Amino acid sequence: MTVKKVAFITGVARGQGRAHAVKLASKGMNIIGLDICADIPSMDYPNATEDDLRATVKLVEAAGGEIVAAKGDVRSYDDLRRVLAMGLDRFGRVDVLLANAGIIRLSPDGDRDQTWVDIIDVNLTGVWRTIEVVLPAIRAGGRGGSIVITSSTAGMKGVGTDKAGAQAYTAAKRGLVGLMQVLANQYAPEMIRVNTIHPTGVATGMNLNPAMEKLMAEAAAGGKNTISAMQNALPIPILQAENIADAVAWLVSDEAAYITGIQLPLDAGFAIR
């Protein structure tokens, strides 16, 4: 009997995290998933809900996979360890880690300092903590493995802004590249591959919400804001989460077995403009 590989995914309740879980399940993997399922007061849009998480479970099962999914915050070691333990009890292994959870605020800031702290804590420190908790389980298998960290076009190219949220987002996403490179070098001898992906705008709850729609309307009317400076080269205004999941499924597969330490743009040409 073939033993299925297992992927640990953060931010799994909707958007890219859900798309990754469903795609990998369709490719024969089982899933351990975590999502905060609660709002963060300094942000200007709602996070996923417990209903969203339950919907992800149904979609993964419909795609042929099994899933352990629970509420958890990537800022919390206790949450990460609890969900990992639940997954290991069920599946006994982890082969793939998708450090996907992230938040953003591009609109005018409320408490600038709190906005900065929360974005750095989730998008950078939360990724590091996720890897700290899950990587030992990958190493313990002795089979190699794959870690994919969700960065952004902001991790490749910064645009001018006075907004603390956008500054923090860019700093965190650029910091993930350095973290990836260090880990890729450190764990290459164990055939554990580490890469970052850099999506442009994706049609998820992070981008499809009233706060972001207001910024898009301002940009469309000729106003200058962070959105107006973020234009793709290809005539594609926004990608779908499934587009990103297709690329990630390849990156964690045996077809990409020798690819490590790269920054993979999934950006419709944003970085070349």
226-264 CB burial, b ≥16 within 10 A, e <16: bbbebebeeeeeebebebbbebbbebbeeebeebbebbb
Cα distances (angstroms) measured from residue 85 to each of 34, 70, 90, 94, 235: 12, 11, 9, 11, 45
> What token pair was written down for 227?
């959105």
77, 169, 187, 258: the active-site residue: 169
Q: Which two tokens stand for residue 225?
A: 């804001």
Residue with tokens 């909707």: 14
| Alpha carbons 35 and 4: distance in angstroms, whole number | 23
Strand order in the sheet with 67-71: 67-71, 30-35, 6-10, 96-99, 145-150, 192-199, 263-266
Residue carrying structure tokens 């953060």: 10
Burial of 51 (0-12, 13-18, 19+ CB in 10 A): exposed
* 77 annotated active-site: no
Q: Catalytic residues, which ones?
A: 169
